[in-house]
Structure 1
Amino acid sequence: MVAVKAADADGALARLDPRVAVVLLYGPDTGLVAERARRVARAAVTDPEDPFQLVKLDGDGIAGDPGRLADEAGTVAMFGGRRSVWVRPTSKNLAPAVEAVLAIPGSDALVVVEAGDLAKTSPLRAVCEKAPRALAIPCYADEGRNLSQVVDDALREAGLAIDRDTRTLLVESLGGDRLATRSELDKLVLYCHGRGSVGAADLEAVLSDVSGLQASVVTDAAFAGAVRQADEALRRLRLEGTSASGILSPLLGHATTLLPLALDVAAGSPPASAVDGWRGLHFKRKPLVTRHLALWTPDLLRRLVARIQDTVLATRRSADLADALTERLVVDIARTAAQRAGR
């Protein structure tokens, strides 16, 4: 039985036992799942560009034909050496296909499976955690030491220095998803190329859109009860051509992210402390989100999530009313927050 702890994931992958036939990578951070799967699948073969050594399969196809994965795993490489079979994500059950691979004695192929956030009761996760020739590795959003290490490695490789305060701001602005973090760090490195160091102004210039800040102006104003500011920001976005979905999606995402934090606040945690648990929140938004948590209770947020979802559905059914429905929702959110604030 090999269920690896999240903190030990990178070490386990770096010291992968050659007897391991299946590596399952799962968790809510799909970017980290994909990054690790790519690294492991490519490292298992001598030439990752050779399609006979590294075989990429679609998870849906494997679920529909479970025997295919075992056939690929049992195939001998044309010119010798180990083969790697990389299975991309699917919502369908891959447990039967993986069980068939583990039943092959002495298979020289490594099967790498990407999956989503699997519950402990998931058949696929259960199979891999119980099998001695499989590894089940969780992938959670970078935080704390892990995120700091990702940042430090990227800047060191680029030859860029960074002071402690700026580094703290950078780390606090990242971490929601590994691929998103890599993308933002790549932009920062490119922006600062040839300069030797990274400053706070560079973060302001490059990371200003990490959390979709343009649309979040409407979100932040509405949830804070600033009715006029929310309405003005909404009108500016419309003039710039932002669709109703481009406004409703951030509203829904913000409400659903606030809900667990609001539950923490209801249990006695100060709003500022609860906000610290939001990885990937842009540093400029922290004071605003802290204020949101002081105004929105879990019950209010649950009702709001349902209201936003209803509005999204209504805009899809009546596209000609999308702008009016979106404006009504934004104003209602802002008025509710304003009443809570006593304005």
Structure 2
Amino acid sequence: MKLAAGRVAATLDRPDPSVRFYLFSGSDSSTSRLHAQRLLGALKAEKVATSVAQLKSDPAWLADEAASISMFGGQRLLWIEPAGEDILPAVTALLDLPSAEAPAIAIIASTLRKDSKIAKFADSRPGAIHVASEPLAARDLVAAILELGRGEGLRLTPQLAERVAEEAAGDLMLARLELQKFALYADAAPDRPCDLDESVVDALGIDQAETDHSRPGDLALAGDLHQLGAELVLLEASAIDAIPVVRALQRRLLMLVPLRARVDSGQSIGTVLGSVWRDKAAVTRILPRWTSARLAEVMVRVQKLERELMLRPVPPSAALGELLMQLARAAGR
């Protein structure tokens, strides 16, 4: 079933156990990823990532995994990103199961044609839902950011929400990361909301911190071991907090994932890079070095590091430096 925009929030917040497959498509890939994350939270599930390559080589894997019971008893969400038409045999096998323990989602970072087989399948098959996301109008984008802010315990004025949208270049996943950072700073949460002050955005927003904090991650993703080594020495000497560097790296990955998906769908790297307006020089160095599957793996590792830095007494500079050097060596291969 293809969902109308007005039904998306309620459907994702209260998942129907009979739905086994969610297809998120459209040119606004940040909103598609936000929808997928919303479903993940509503299910209180563990994300189990797979790839198109794996499903092409073993179309039965998705159904087998969906039918199996988790070793630790928790809910799982099978996650295919970036996806494409090639996943149809695997998804068909999933919906043909008599019963399933885990649903699956697929994110396709482009608008699907009317003759798309995977879209027709998701639109018409019981047990499947299709959400197509196109870029939001300015008014709708501000409303979405106001809602995201409420979810983090932040009350924003429409003017401040518009500023957050502009600094995030309309990317709702990036805006959400920013709001999470502001909420952490303000000690805000849904059960103890507070007003977001413009001075907080001045101090912590993307424009203020992005250049210095993004440089280590950009050097790592570009495979520049020599300059990265010097940068890590500087970070250690300056006692710069590791968390902003990790979050700048997350923002860069969120920018790269949909660009790489467009390359995978058949567009040339030159055409894709032509649409980049922010940090084009860095993206030009990085994008050819990484596949979609490797970017997805890096995102998981960076998220894990962020949790470790925030929740456990891991030496921040050592843990961050180790991860960045591993990324640089991988990029240089």
TM-score (norm. length: structure 2): 0.52
Which of 63, 68, 74 does residue 56 from structure 2 map onto? 63
Cα deviation code 1:89-139 (max 9, x no counterpart): 235611111111112223343122222213332221121111011111123
Q: Quick one: distance in 2 between partners of 1:114 and 1:87?
A: 6
| SS in structure 1 at match of 2:48 | strand
Counterpart for residue 17 of structure 1: 16
Counterpart for residue 127 of structure 1: 121
Report the AA paired with residue 137 of structure 1.
V
Q: Quick one: distance in 2 between partners of 1:100 and 1:65?
A: 11
Counterpart for residue 177 of structure 2: 183
Q: Is the 8 A contact 2:22 2:104 kept in 1?
A: yes
Report the AA paired with residue 75 of structure 1.
S
Counterpart for residue 6 of structure 2: 7
Report the AA paired with residue 131 of structure 1.
R
- Displacement of 1:74: 2.5
In structure 2, list runs of 5 or more residues that go unmatched.
189-193, 213-269, 289-333
Q: How does 1:75-224 map to 2 (within 5 A)?
A: 75-78=68-71, 83-91=76-84, 93-117=86-110, 118-144=112-138, 146-156=140-150, 160-163=154-157, 165-174=159-168, 176-189=170-183, 197-198=195-196, 200=198, 203-207=201-205, 209=207
Q: How does 1:270-281 map to 2 (within 5 A)?
A: none
Q: Is the 8 A contact 2:168 2:206 kept in 1?
A: no
CA shift in 2, pair 1:254/1:99, >3 Å: closer
Q: Is the 8 A contact 2:2 2:129 kept in 1?
A: yes
- Displacement of 1:150: 3.8
CA shift in 2, pair 1:79/1:146, >3 Å: same
Q: Quick one: distance in 2 between partners of 1:144 and 1:55?
A: 34
| SS in structure 1 at match of 2:79 | strand
Counterpart for residue 31 of structure 2: 32
CA shift in 2, pair 1:205/1:41, >3 Å: closer
- Displacement of 1:55: 3.2
Structure with bigger gyration radius: 1
| SS in structure 2 at match of 1:107 | coil
Q: Quick one: distance in 1 between partners of 2:273 and 2:122?
A: 38
In structure 1, list runs of 5 or more residues that go unmatched.
215-247, 256-280, 282-307, 317-343
Over aligned residue pairs, what C-alpha RMSD do you find?
4.3
Cα deviation code 1:27-73 (max 9, x no counterpart): 2232332232233245446xx35xxxx53322321122212112212
Q: Quick one: distance in 2 between partners of 1:153 and 1:43?
A: 16
CA shift in 2, pair 1:26/1:159, >3 Å: closer
Q: Is the 8 A contact 1:142 1:177 kept in 2?
A: no
Cα deviation code 1:201-229 (max 9, x no counterpart): 6545544639x999xxxxxxxxxxxxxxx
Q: Quick one: distance in 1 between partners of 2:40 and 2:157?
A: 36
Q: Quick one: distance in 2 between partners of 1:157 and 1:30?
A: 21
Q: Percent identity?
A: 26
Q: How does 1:265-304 map to 2 (within 5 A)?
A: none
Report the AA paired with residue 50 of structure 2.
L
CA shift in 2, pair 1:251/1:191, >3 Å: farther
Q: How does 1:311-330 map to 2 (within 5 A)?
A: none
Report the AA paired with residue 180 of structure 1.
L
Q: Is the 8 A contact 2:2 2:131 kept in 1?
A: yes
| SS in structure 1 at match of 2:275 | helix
- Displacement of 1:87: 2.2
How many residue pairs get aligned? The number is 221
- Displacement of 1:188: 4.3
Q: Quick one: distance in 1 between partners of 2:176 and 2:38?
A: 14
